[in-house]
Amino acid sequence: MSKVLKAGILTSGGDAPGMNAAIRALVRVSACFGHRVYGINHGYQGLWNGDYREITTKDVGGTINMGGTILGTSRFPDLLQFETVKKMSAKVKKYGFDVIYVIGGNGSLKGAIDLARCGTRSIVLPGSIDNDLPGSSYSIGSDTALNTILDAVDKIKDTASSHERAFLIEVMGRDSGYLAMMSAISGGADAAIIPERKFDIRKLVSFIKTRKKMGKKNTIIIVAEGAGSVEDLKAGLQGKIPYDVRIVILGHLQRGGSPTSFDRIMASRLARYAVESFDKGIYNILCGFHKEECVGIPFSSVKRLKPKDFSNDIKTIEYLAL
Ligand code: F6P
């Protein structure tokens, strides 16, 4: 009789809406293949502590619409030390996991790649509202977060127009301009300031003045948190533009909420692809989305991919704001 394969699932780093849809799909597809599945609590920290339990198809019932992650998550900076990576791999061997499904962002991916060097097999599903994992056009949670931001932008625009004010809206994105850029396009903002591209405050001031002369009643600027301080930007604009400036920091509300249909569907598809890959003996891959298809990018290739850059759309925003 062939051995029953044993899979662990963990969610790591910042939580993202749709992680539960991915867990649910991993558990249910695995069951169809006869694999046993274990939920590891609180990310790599839980793996380190041996904090896991078997989960069944029944356990994930009613979770597809839930935000957050039922497994809990954490950041585990100790994994940056190679000694910890080696010890962790030895623990995984002892636990008997044949694969660990890791749902998380770039830090979680790096952890999985390092663990693979010490013999731990894993498959990573991109889970981050920042949508900044290389090689995948999509990451779980990014659509919900974008819609949450859009809802806020629409509301802020109402009051901005009534008072004829400028609003600087800070959104998440430590290293990535995805949320800032896409919410600026979809929210009809006047500028997006992102970590990938330096911006020129004088050019911004003159752009805002031109718009004011055209009779525009508000100015909305979306600032990615990794692009610099909104307070400094406010200080640089106040008094130089013909609008009073206000700041809104959206913060962690961007990470919560029930996932959109898109996030639920994509999480389910990526999970199915991940389990099918593992069943075929394929692991140490990032399961991504590329040209409408699920793809498995080997960890060896992931390291050669360039970081994503959303600065191309700066022009889109400029043209549409006039
Ligand atoms: O990793 C995703 C992210 O949302 C970043 O954009 C943000 O900088 C970070 O998480 C915030 O993390 P924390 O909740 O640990 O403060």
Identify the CA nearest to 182 among candidates 213, 147, 227: 147
Residue 312 lies in a domain: no
Kindly name the residue from 15, 114, 130, 132 that is annotated as catalytic.
Answer: 130
Distance CA 8, CA 102 (A): 8
Q: Say whether both 238 and 270 belong to one domain.
A: no
pTM: 0.96
Q: pLDDT value at position 3?
A: 87
Question: Is the same domain home to 118 and 231?
Answer: no
> Hey, what are 262's tokens?
């898109």
276, 180: one domain: no
Q: 61 lies in which domain range?
A: 7-141+259-302
Ligand 1 is surrounded, with C-beta below 6 A, by 13-14, 105, 128-130, 172-174, 225, 255
Give domain status of residue 309, yes or no: no
Q: Is 53 found in the same domain as 94?
A: yes
**Number of domain units in the chain:** 2
Residues 18 and 135 in one domain: yes
Residue 2 has pLDDT above 90, yes or no: no
Q: Tell me: do 84 and 220 sit in the same domain.
A: no
| Angle at which helices 230-237 and 201-213 cross, to 10° | 60
Domain assignment present for residue 279? The answer is yes
**Phi/psi of residue 202, nearest 5 degrees:** -65, -40
Answer yes or no: do 270 and 137 share one domain. Answer: yes
**Listed residues 255, 287, 310: the one ending a domain:** 255
Report CA 224 to chain centroid distance, whole Å.
Answer: 14
pLDDT score of 68 more than 90 = yes
For residue 89, the domain's CATH number is 3.40.50.450
Q: 212-263: per-residue pLDDT in tens?
A: 999 999 999 999 999 999 999 999 999 999 999 999 999 999 999 999 999 9
Active site annotation includes 132: no
226 C-alpha to ligand 1 centroid (Å): 10
Q: What pLDDT digit, counting tens, does each position of 76-92 carry? A: 999 999 999 999 999 99
Co-location of 68 and 151 in the same domain: no
Q: What is the DSSP-derived secondary structure letter of residue 81? A: S
3-state SS class at 101:
strand
Ligand 1 atom at minimal distance to the Cα of residue 254: 4
Give SS3 for 257.
Answer: coil
Residue 199 to residue 128: CA distance in whole angstroms: 26
135 shares its domain with 266: yes
Q: Mind listing the pLDDT tens digit for each residue in 252-300?
A: 999 999 999 999 999 999 999 999 999 999 999 999 999 999 999 999 9
Tell whether 237 is covered by a domain.
yes
Q: Please write the tens of the pLDDT for every residue from 117-168.
A: 999 999 999 999 999 999 999 999 999 999 999 999 999 999 999 999 999 9
Q: What is the DSSP letter of 243?
A: S
Question: What are 12's two structure tokens?
Answer: 């790591």
Say yes or no: 102 and 186 in one domain: no
Judgement on whether residues 155 and 72 belong to the same structural domain of the protein = no
What pLDDT shows up at residue 315? Answer: 92
- Domain shared by 171 and 91, yes or no: no
Which pLDDT tens digit goes with each residue over 16-53?
999 999 999 999 999 999 999 999 999 999 999 999 99
